[in-house]
């Protein structure tokens, strides 16, 4: 009676989430998004469209930016995952998080975790991106509130302050 | 003694830290013990009688909670303006996606299959899908004449003017439906127990709308219905009315099952079933003198309300009042009508009717300019409203607004004249045609006419045990900055620090009804009330002898602590009272329509690519007078975000309908602007102040939605010399128009080989 994808027996996967090792029993085709939210209680990762278009569920897998709604749990086996909950250290905001606060990069906040992770990923690749590179780097993450300009400012400010280092 | 000013500075967003760390709690982040998941079975047809409902094989229906209209304890309606919209269709459906049955199950993965397994037999009835079909009255689908509401606004002697006019300019303009596309889909959780009653938590704008709807639906007294707003991931009007429906559904499932029930829409359900911006049609007939002065006008403004009344009369009202825009009309007659069709009901979306009627007007001004032989700049300059003149409803402009100056500044910021001349030259040789377009407009802040008086909003401010203050309002935060700005206002009013003030989570058991969070009213109207409630706390403390007239923030907190320790609590309420000298006639639609108007001039620079037929906006100047800017970063964010949605409204966002059903209910095929699509959006403010608003603020949220579409389509006309009168304007529309165009210049550099 279940959806076919979830009929298969659960399997064990081991992964590191925000630096913490986890071993979980999950359906192999369960979405990584659901594993993070429901199994690990990491609800900072958001669902916006469920089809990989909006980027709200963006997380890093082994340093790659992915839409976690499109990743089956099994694919995350052995991987190191970073979610929004993994960016601040000891209650201190990561520079990007602070810049999003300062510049008005977060309004309703629903796209913000994904947007910050996409920005984080961008700055890892290009520590001092041009405006065009920021536009391109964030084009997989939709925001309906801000019109993006203040997000660009936030990324530029974080880059200036050395967020990538 | 006086702390640094807080109003006018960009303090950190109150709930910002929770949002950038992922700690902010939205409804889908909440899980209750034994919670079931709910789903909605909807109509697949636009109109018909329900003949038979079959629960198909392959599903153990005993595992499911099933709710039908028979399970509704009270009246089967979603109470709003009129009780015409059922919570669950009972025997007859009037639009596609109309809710018919509800299901709940502990395993959310089982619900889609169960919904699929239910088959419904209908006896179809003829359905209508647009305003024209509705107006023929061949099918009556609502009331006796398919008409939800009409308004007539009249000023001067319109009929006497046509004879003596040098020019009569007539045209029709249309706008399409637009999806709000908040990134957080709609969702609600309901829990019920007979002692405490019903509680719902959800993504929503208006807690007390839901409270009212649930009382009637569930036949419960006010204190047995509790509505709590969770962090809300965007709304834009899209969570003004439909959340009452979802709350009602979750409530019915929770009452029947005795367990908490969560309903979270997926994107496709949210797009297909919930409200969108009303499609509109505006017909202009304008008498103009040979020197370009408007003498009189007739405007027919019609919107498609869909199958039920919902908020259409109010949307229509705002659209009608804004139809004359920022110009002086010696005589005018505006006829406005909201008609019924068998579409899902259309509803609130930022701007609320004004973006529709202002699109028509600002396109029409360019048309008048052409007929008269003036520039788009000059036609506007000659007709701008001036202080002392009256609007279409007879409201005297009291503030010292100088729209000509606003226009001059915008022209300068955009380098309008130089670019226009250069583009006219360059376009002759290029397949990339560039153009400049202007829109000048106004937007009324707060409820229309007597609306605020009827609402009679109440706010509270209280001190809590640690000596800090807490604001009690039902006004909700969904990204605009409600929390932040209201806290700024209280801190400023009392000479406290920003961190001395917090705001309560909107919860109908905790906060008074400060009215719905709509109509750009929160900062101006609720903010002013919060300011006076805050002052009430100070008065009480001083009267008690616990605080002297002059104090530091620390002394204020100490006085609050002492007062709370002695008396248990200190709370100050304030209620809206209509300012003196405000007059509005609901019958004749005359008088002071709004306590304040914000004013704006927007200028778009576009390129139309004759190879791809696509249009890009290259630069966008947004200059506005919004009273005092209380928080520069938030205010700028409101403008940029609104302009981005306006660009989508003009160029990208098209709902594809088939028999009343949305066919492109995905972010894949309903296209909103991405970070790669938008021009630099350059925001400038003028600050005149406003006696009615907190610290001189006016409304701001909706204004930026009004201007972008006409400015962009005006710019496209400047580039291509083709007058488009309908939005959204997609590349295929431009292709067709260019192919059919009679102007040889426009075709000269078209790649004919491709045609």
CB atoms within 10 A of CB B740: 8
Question: Structurally, how many domains does chain B consist of?
Answer: 3
Binding-face residues of A in 110-129 toward B, CB within 8 A: 110-113, 116
The CA-atom distances, in angstroms, between B418 and each of B138, B425, B435, B709 are 54, 11, 12, 23
Assess A155–B contact: CB distance below 8 Å, yes or no: no
Is the Cβ pair A44, B21 closer than 8 Å?
yes
Q: Which long-range contacts (CB under 8 A, 24 or more apart) does B84-90 make?
A: B84/B142, B84/B308, B84/B309, B85/B245, B85/B307, B85/B308, B85/B309, B85/B310, B85/B345, B87/B217, B87/B245, B87/B248, B87/B249, B87/B252, B88/B252, B89/B43, B89/B50
Mean pLDDT computed over A32-53: 98
What is the reported pLDDT for B124? 98
User: Cα distance from B227 to chain A (closest Cα, Å)?
Assistant: 20
pLDDT digit string (tens) for B10-67? 999 999 999 999 999 999 999 999 999 999 999 999 999 999 999 999 999 999 999 9
Instruction: Tell me if B282 sits within 8 A of B300, measured CB to CB.
Output: yes
> Sign of the CA dihedral B556, B559, B564, B570?
negative
> Measured between alpha carbons, how far apart are the two ends of chain A, in Å?
50
**What are the φ and ψ backbone dihedral angles of B386, each rounded to 5 degrees?**
-125, 155
Q: Cα–Cα distance between B653 and B655 in angstroms, integer?
A: 7
Residue of B262, B78, B254 whose CA lies nearest to B188: B262
Question: Who among A44, A49, A152 is closest to B667 (CB)?
Answer: A49
Q: At what angle do helices B416-426 and B708-720 cross, to 10 degrees?
A: 40
Q: Give the gyration radius of chain B's Cα atoms.
A: 27
Q: Could you tell me whether strands A80-82 and A11-17 are parallel, antiparallel, or unpaired per DSSP bridges? A: parallel
Residue B570 included in any domain:
yes
User: Cα distance from A34 to chain B (closest Cα, Å)?
Assistant: 11
Copy the structure tokens of residue A103.
Answer: 């510049």
Q: Give the gyration radius of chain A's Cα atoms.
A: 16
What is the reported pLDDT for B742? 55
Q: Are residues B549 and B470 in the same domain?
A: yes
Residue B685 included in any domain:
yes
What is the reported pLDDT for B638? 98
Single out the residue in B517, B545, B575 at which a domain terminates.
B575
CATH of the domain at B110: 3.30.365.10
CATH number for A95-160: choose from 3.30.750.24, 1.10.150.120, 3.40.50.2300, 1.10.238.10. Answer: 1.10.150.120
Question: Who among B107, B183, B640 is closest to A111 (CB)?
Answer: B183
Q: What does the angle CA B225 – CA B16 – CA B628 come to, to the nearest 5 degrees?
A: 90
Is the Cβ pair A108, B666 closer than 8 Å?
no
Instruction: Tell me if B251 sits within 8 A of B200, measured CB to CB.
Output: yes
Residue B304 included in any domain:
yes
Residue B34 burial class via C-beta count within 10 angstroms: exposed 0-12, middle 13-18, buried 19 and up: exposed
CB pairs < 8 Å spanning A and B: 176
What's the complex ipTM? 0.97
Mean pLDDT computed over B329-333: 98
Q: Cα–Cα distance between B228 and B206 in angstroms, integer?
A: 10
Instruction: Tell me if B352 sits within 8 A of B275, measured CB to CB.
Output: no
Instruction: Tell me if B260 sits within 8 A of B35, measured CB to CB.
Output: yes
pLDDT digit string (tens) for B579-637? 887 889 999 999 999 999 999 999 999 999 999 999 999 999 999 999 999 999 999 99
Question: Who among A48, A85, A98 is closest to B22 (CB)?
Answer: A85
Q: Are residues B606 and B677 in the same domain?
A: yes
Q: Cα–Cα distance between B86 and B100 in angstroms, integer?
A: 9
Single out the residue in B575, B608, B630 at which a domain terminates.
B575
Instruction: Tell me if B210 sits within 8 A of B203, measured CB to CB.
Output: no
Copy the structure tokens of residue B48.
Answer: 């018909």
pLDDT digit string (tens) for B543-583? 999 999 999 999 999 999 999 999 999 999 999 998 887 88
Q: Are residues B428 and B552 in the same domain?
A: no
HEC string of B545-563 equals CCCCCCCCHHHHHHHHHHH
**What are the φ and ψ backbone dihedral angles of B115, each rounded to 5 degrees?**
-60, -45
Closest-CA residue in chain B for A101? B16
pLDDT digit string (tens) for B382-438? 999 999 999 999 999 999 999 999 999 999 999 999 999 999 999 999 999 999 999
What is the reported pLDDT for A31? 98
Copy the structure tokens of residue B594.
Answer: 């709004």
The CA-atom distances, in angstroms, between B560 and each of B465, B494, B538, B550, B567 are 8, 12, 9, 15, 10
Beta pairing partners, B118: B55
Instruction: Name the region of B325 (left: φ>0; alpha: ψ -120 to 50; beta: rest).
Output: left
Q: Could you tell me whether strands A80-82 and B469-472 are parallel, antiparallel, or unpaired per DSSP bridges? A: unpaired
Beta pairing partners, B92: B49
Closest-CA residue in chain A for B57? A1
Q: Are residues B495 and B429 in the same domain?
A: no
User: Cα distance from B708 to chain A (closest Cα, Å)?
Assistant: 13
Is the Cβ pair B58, A100 closer than 8 Å?
no
Q: Cα–Cα distance between A82 and B16 in angstroms, integer?
A: 21
Q: Are residues B287 and B434 in the same domain?
A: yes
Copy the structure tokens of residue A80.
Answer: 């190191």
Instruction: Tell me if B188 sits within 8 A of B248, measured CB to CB.
Output: no
Assess A31–B contact: CB distance below 8 Å, yes or no: no
Q: Are residues B250 and B397 in the same domain?
A: no
Closest-CA residue in chain B for A143? B183
Residue B666 included in any domain:
yes
**What are the φ and ψ backbone dihedral angles of B650, each rounded to 5 degrees?**
-80, -45
Mean pLDDT computed over B723-738: 97
**B753 — pLDDT class (breaks 50, 70, 90):** very low
List the domain range (segments joined by +) for residue B712: 280-448+590-754
- In three-state secondary structure terms, B697 is strand
Beta pairing partners, B147: B339
Is the Cβ pair B232, A108 closer than 8 Å?
yes
Q: Are residues B522 and B655 in the same domain?
A: no
Instruction: Tell me if B247 sits within 8 A of B190, measured CB to CB.
Output: yes
pLDDT digit string (tens) for B201-228? 999 999 999 999 999 999 999 999 999 9
Single out the residue in B251, B273, B295 at which a domain terminates.
B273
Residue B9 included in any domain:
no
pLDDT digit string (tens) for B69-128? 999 999 999 999 999 999 999 999 999 999 999 999 999 999 999 999 999 999 999 999
Question: In CATH terms, are A10-86 and A95-160 the same topology?
Answer: no
Is the Cβ pair A142, B22 closer than 8 Å?
no
Q: In what order do the strands lie in the sheet with B261-264?
A: B65-67, B99-105, B36-42, B261-264, B187-193, B197-202, B225-229
Binding-face residues of A in 70-109 toward B, CB within 8 A: 83-85, 87-88, 93, 97-98, 100-104, 106-109
Is the Cβ pair A150, B637 closer than 8 Å?
yes
Q: Cα–Cα distance between B143 and B130 in angstroms, integer?
A: 17
Q: Are residues B362 and B285 in the same domain?
A: yes
Q: Are residues B268 and B230 in the same domain?
A: yes
Cα Dmax for chain B: 87
Instruction: Tell me if B536 sits within 8 A of B479, measured CB to CB.
Output: no
Q: Which residues of A touch B185 (CB under 8 A)?
A: 47-48
The CA-atom distances, in angstroms, between B694 and each of B4, B205, B522, B636, B699 are 18, 21, 10, 18, 10
Residue B295 included in any domain:
yes
Copy the structure tokens of residue B334.
Answer: 């505006």
Residue B352 included in any domain:
yes
Residue B134 included in any domain:
no
Is the Cβ pair A108, B478 closer than 8 Å?
yes
- Fold topology of A10-86: Ubiquitin-like (UB roll) (3.10.20)
- In three-state secondary structure terms, B447 is coil
- pLDDT reading at B279 higher than 80: yes
Which residue intervals of B125-266 are DSSP H helices?
A: 131-136, 207-218, 242-257
Copy the structure tokens of residue B59.
Answer: 């599903």
Q: Could you tell me whether strands A58-61 and B458-463 are parallel, antiparallel, or unpaired per DSSP bridges? A: unpaired
Residue B745 burial class via C-beta count within 10 angstroms: exposed 0-12, middle 13-18, buried 19 and up: exposed
User: Cα distance from A37 to chain B (closest Cα, Å)?
Assistant: 8
pLDDT digit string (tens) for B151-166? 999 999 999 999 999 9
Q: Are residues B724 and B598 in the same domain?
A: yes
Domain map of chain A by residue range? 10-86, 95-160
- pLDDT reading at B747 higher than 60: no
Q: Cα–Cα distance between B151 and B531 in angstroms, integer?
A: 36
- pLDDT reading at B358 higher than 60: yes
Q: Are residues B428 and B515 in the same domain?
A: no
Q: Are residues B635 and B566 in the same domain?
A: no
> Measured between alpha carbons, how far apart are the two ends of chain B, in Å?
74
DSSP secondary structure letter of residue A40: S
């Amino acid at each position: 009676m279940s959806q076919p994808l979830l009929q298969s027996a659960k399997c064990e996967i081991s992964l590191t989430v925000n630096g913490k090792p986890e071993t979980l029993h999950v359906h192999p085709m369960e979405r990584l998004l659901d594993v993070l939210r429901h199994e690990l209680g990491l609800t900072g990762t958001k669902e916006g469209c469920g089809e990989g278009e909006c980027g709200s569920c963006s997380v890093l897998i082994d340093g790659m930016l992915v839409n976690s709604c499109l990743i089956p749990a099994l694919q995350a086996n052995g991987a190191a995952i970073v979610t929004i909950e993994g960016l601040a250290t000891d209650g201190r905001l990561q520079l990007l998080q602070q810049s999003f606060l300062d510049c008005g990069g977060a309004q309703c906040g629903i796209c913000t975790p994904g947007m910050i992770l996409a920005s984080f990923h961008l700055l890892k690749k290009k520590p001092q991106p041009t405006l065009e590179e920021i536009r391109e780097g964030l084009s997989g993450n939709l925001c309906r509130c801000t019109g993006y300009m203040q997000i660009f400012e936030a990324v530029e400010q974080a880059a200036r302050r050395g967020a990538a280092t | 003694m006086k702390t640094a000013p807080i109003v006018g500075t960009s303090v950190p967003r109150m709930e910002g830290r929770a949002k950038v760390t992922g700690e902010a709690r939205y409804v889908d982040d909440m899980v209750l013990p034994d919670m079931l998941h709910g789903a909605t079975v909807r109509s697949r047809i636009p109109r018909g009688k329900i003949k038979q409902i079959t629960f198909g094989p392959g599903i153990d229906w005993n595992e499911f909670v099933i709710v039908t209209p028979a399970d509704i304890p009270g009246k089967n309606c979603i109470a709003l303006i009129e009780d015409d919209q059922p919570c669950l269709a009972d025997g007859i459906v009037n639009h596609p996606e109309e809710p018919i049955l509800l299901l709940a199950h502990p395993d959310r993965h089982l619900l889609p299959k169960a919904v699929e397994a239910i088959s419904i037999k209908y006896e179809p009835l003829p359905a209508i899908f647009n305003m024209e079909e509705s107006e023929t009255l061949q099918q009556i689908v609502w009331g006796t004449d398919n008409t939800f509401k009409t308004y007539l606004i009249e000023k001067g002697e319109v009929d006497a003017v046509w004879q003596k006019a040098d020019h009569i300019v007539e045209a029709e303009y249309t706008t399409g439906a637009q999806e709000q596309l908040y990134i957080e889909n709609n969702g609600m959780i309901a829990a019920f127990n007979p002692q405490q009653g019903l509680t719902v938590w959800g993504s929503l704008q208006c807690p007390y709308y839901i409270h009212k709807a649930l009382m009637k639906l569930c036949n419960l007294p006010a204190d047995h219905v509790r509505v709590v707003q969770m962090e809300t991931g965007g709304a834009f009007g899209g969570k003004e009315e439909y959340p009452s429906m979802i709350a009602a559904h979750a409530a019915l499932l929770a009452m029947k099952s005795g367990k908490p029930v969560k309903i979270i829409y997926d994107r496709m359900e949210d797009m297909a079933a919930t409200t969108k911006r009303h499609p509109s049609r505006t017909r202009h007939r304008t008498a103009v003198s040979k020197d370009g002065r408007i003498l009189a006008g007739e405007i027919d403004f019609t919107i498609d309300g869909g199958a039920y009344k919902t908020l259409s009369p109010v949307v229509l009202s705002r659209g009608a009042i804004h139809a004359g825009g920022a110009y002086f009309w010696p005589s005018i007659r505006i006829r406005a009508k909201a008609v019924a069709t068998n579409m899902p009901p259309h509803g609130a979306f930022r701007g609320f009717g004004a973006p529709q009627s202002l699109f028509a007007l600002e396109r029409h001004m360019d048309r008048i300019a052409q007929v008269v032989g003036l520039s788009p700049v000059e036609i506007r300059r000659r007709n701008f409203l001036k202080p002392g003149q009256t609007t279409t409803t007879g409201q005297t402009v009291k503030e010292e607004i100088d729209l000509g100056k606003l226009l001059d500044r915008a022209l300068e910021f955009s380098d309008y004249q130089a670019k226009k001349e250069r583009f006219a030259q360059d376009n002759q040789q290029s397949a990339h045609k560039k153009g400049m377009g202007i829109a000048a407009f106004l937007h009324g802040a707060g409820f229309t006419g007597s609306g605020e008086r009827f609402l009679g909003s109440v706010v509270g401010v209280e001190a809590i045990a640690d000596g800090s203050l807490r604001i009690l309002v039902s006004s909700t935060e969904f990204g605009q900055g409600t929390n932040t700005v209201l806290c700024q206002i209280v801190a400023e009013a009392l000479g406290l620090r920003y961190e001395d003030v917090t705001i309560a989570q909107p919860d109908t058991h905790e906060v008074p009804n400060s009215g719905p969070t709509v109509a750009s009213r929160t900062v101006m109207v609720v903010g002013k009330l919060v300011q006076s409630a805050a002052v009430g706390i100070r008065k009480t403390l001083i009267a008690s002898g616990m605080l002297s007239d002059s104090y530091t923030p620390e002394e204020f907190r100490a006085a609050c602590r002492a007062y709370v320790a002695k008396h248990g609590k200190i709370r100050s309420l304030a209620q809206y009272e209509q300012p003196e000298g405000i007059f509005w006639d609901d019958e004749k639609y005359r008088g002071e329509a709004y306590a304040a108007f914000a004013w704006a001039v927007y200028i778009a620079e576009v390129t139309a690519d004759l190879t791809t037929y696509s249009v890009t906006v290259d630069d966008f100047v947004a200059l506005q007078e919004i009273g005092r800017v209380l928080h520069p970063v938030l205010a700028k964010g409101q403008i940029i975000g609104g302009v981005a949605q306006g660009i989508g409204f003009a160029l990208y966002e098209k709902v594809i309908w088939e028999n009343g059903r949305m066919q492109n209910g995905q972010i894949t095929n309903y296209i909103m602007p991405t970070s790669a699509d938008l021009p630099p959006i350059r925001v400038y403010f003028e600050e005149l102040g406003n006696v009615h608003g907190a610290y001189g603020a006016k409304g701001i949220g909706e204004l930026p939605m009004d201007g972008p579409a006409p400015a962009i389509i005006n710019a496209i006309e400047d580039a291509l010399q083709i007058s488009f009168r309908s939005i959204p304007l997609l590349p295929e529309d431009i292709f067709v128009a260019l192919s059919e165009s009679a102007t040889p210049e426009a075709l000269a550099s078209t790649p004919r080989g491709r045609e």
